[in-house]
Amino acid sequence: MRTALRSLWVWTAIIVLIVVWLPLLALVRLFDRDPARYRTGRWFRRLGMAMTKVNPAWQIEILGTTVENPRNPYVVVSNHQSNADIPIISCLPWEMKWVAKIELFKLPFAGWMMRLAEDIPVDRGDKMSRARVLVRARRVLRDKCSVMFFPEGTRSRDGRVLRFTDGAFRLAIKAQVPILPLAIDGTQNALPKHDWRLGDVSRIRLKVFPPIPTEGLTAADADRLRDEVRDQIIAQIATWRGVSPADVDATARSATTT
């Protein structure tokens, strides 16, 4: 009963925030002349930050590297456990355009704000959409703004790290910008899938790793870079949980059962 009441309060507060934020964001966008709509995006991410503040059960700890120059563009990649990842990663103090499934852009209010912030939609059912995403993402990087990917492509159902696709890594190599890995843990039960009730008190940890340069790398290095980053994220989550990396790696588990 207590969980339901707290969830009702949090969702009511989030809805109020979203309704209030939309006209504010539209006003910011009206005066934002930056080609990357950097200020608009930052105000949109502040909504995510505000969402984390209205939920007292989320105990968030941000660790790791500090990004000194927010206009130094990165291709940012993170594992993905739940939709709670989005407001929590939005607490990082720099702007990045998020690559997200096109269905989210069709939502009222939230989708409208994603369009105002010029986040990047991807249609998973359209192969050409992925190519358009990379073209648009490269333009964002040229405008000195980072781009954010979840290379698993979907949320993990059990908290283990799924296989990474290589699109983000090929983009970073082609644009010759660094990869900035993130590891997040503790969000899976903070916002359970297919349940409106929020989880109990959750210790959520987000780590920013040092950027990995891509100067001199070629497309032939993309798979190695992808695997290096994934292994780094898995190792960190395993350390937090006090388990072996194999217990966090979804592909390791599937390999042992085939």
Q: Which of 15, 22, 20, 17 is nearest to 115 (CA)?
A: 22
- List the structure tokens of 140: 């964002």
Q: What is the pLDDT of residue 13?
A: 95
Which pLDDT band holds residue 125 (cuts at 50, 70, 90)? Answer: confident
- The string of pLDDT tens digits covering residues 79-107 is 999 999 999 999 999 999 999 999 999 99
For residues 64 and 180, what is the distance between their CA atoms, to the nearest angstrom?
A: 11
User: Which residue type occupies 125?
Assistant: G
Q: What CATH number should be reported for the domain whose range is 2-257? A: 3.40.1130
For residues 160 and 249, what is the distance between their CA atoms, to the nearest angstrom?
A: 6
- The string of pLDDT tens digits covering residues 142-175 is 999 999 999 999 999 889 999 999 999 999 999 9
State the Cα angle at 144 between 165 and 225, rounded to 5°: 30
Mean pLDDT of 214-228: 97
Are 61 and 204 in contact by the 8 Å Cβ rule? The answer is: yes
What is the chain's percent helix, strand, coil content, to nearest 5? 45, 15, 35
For residues 92 and 101, what is the distance between their CA atoms, to the nearest angstrom?
A: 22
Could you give phi then psi for residue 39, rounded to 5 degrees? -65, -40
- List the structure tokens of 92: 């990082």
Domain boundaries, the chain: 2-257
For residues 98 and 160, what is the distance between their CA atoms, to the nearest angstrom?
A: 22
Selected residue with higher pLDDT from 193 and 208? 208
- The string of pLDDT tens digits covering residues 222-248 is 999 999 999 999 999 999 999 999 999
Q: What is the pLDDT of residue 191?
A: 77
